[in-house]
Amino acid sequence: LGVMIVNGQPKKHSEYIQATGRIGRANPGLIVTLYSYTKPRDISQYEDFISYHSKFYQYVEKVSVTPFTLPSREMGLFGILVGLIRLKLKKLSANNSAEKFVPDDETQKVMINQIKKLFKDRVDNIDPVESQNTQIRITELFEQWKLYTRIHKGFLKYQDNSYENKDKTKSSQYNYLLRDDLRSPNQLISVPHSFRDAENELKFFYEKMDVPHE
């Protein structure tokens, strides 16, 4: 398919992505979206058109991701920890402040313990079975962050924003704590943009068996 007209914004983001994703697969295509000024959903999409389409996969409706299970912890826990630290401690908020993480510092130690308690209370309430493993993983991630501050001292930032200033030469001198590009050797700990595919895939194999006929 080469051309499509979308008459109004569908209720589900997944429906919109699935339908428009069929256009321009083999060759360039054109999608025209018609919005109505009488529909609040259409107006909202029109006002945030560029922002929405630059990251619309993160808006896909969640199916069933169980909180605090191993796959969800591995995918999303570190990003949340870093976000909380940056919000709570002004000293660590700037993009170039990742190397200032010192868990032995009294102020930071207090904050880390508060975050651990916050998660413990939350997990105990939702899924107590995963409480201990979640606490262990939080400790491991903070230790990993601490290790990277020593290894990359003076050249560690939170994330690569080189796409904003186009200065690729300068950005290659640094290492980045948050990894959103699996191809980048300078990005360290994976942090996804969404929780899609958080659950493990199951593979089925068909095994042909010779069963004698009676």
Q: How many domains does the chain have?
A: 2
In a domain, 212, yes or no: no
Higher-pLDDT residue of 196, 8: 8
What is the SS3 assignment for the chain? Answer: CCEEEEECCCCCHHHHHHHHCCCCCCCCCEEEEECCCCCHHHHHHHHCHHHHHHCHHHHCCCCCCCCCCHHHHHHHHHHHHHHHHHHHCHHHCCHHHHHHCCCCCHHHHHHHHHHHHHHHHHHHHHCHHHHHHHHHHHHHHHHHHHHHHHHCCCCEECCCCHHHHCCHHHHCCCEEEEECCCCCCCEEEECCCCCCCCCCCCCCCCCCCCCCCC
**pLDDT given at position 169:** 54
In a domain, 53, yes or no: yes
In a domain, 211, yes or no: no
In a domain, 198, yes or no: no
Mark whether 43 and 103 lie in a shared domain. Answer: no
In a domain, 208, yes or no: no
Mark whether 141 and 119 lie in a shared domain. Answer: yes
Mark whether 40 and 135 lie in a shared domain. Answer: no
Mark whether 78 and 41 lie in a shared domain. Answer: no
Q: Where in the sequence is the domain holding 178, given as residue range(s)? A: 70-190
Residue 89 confidence class, pLDDT cut points 50, 70, 90: very high
In a domain, 75, yes or no: yes
**pLDDT given at position 94:** 94
Q: Indicate the average pLDDT of the chain.
A: 85
Query: Which of 76-85, 120-129, 136-145, 187-196 has the least mean pLDDT?
Result: 187-196
Higher-pLDDT residue of 204, 36: 36
Mark whether 172 and 101 lie in a shared domain. Answer: yes
Mean pLDDT confidence for 124-153: 94
Do 171 and 118 meet the contact criterion of CB atoms below 8 Å apart? Answer: no
Mark whether 152 and 54 lie in a shared domain. Answer: no
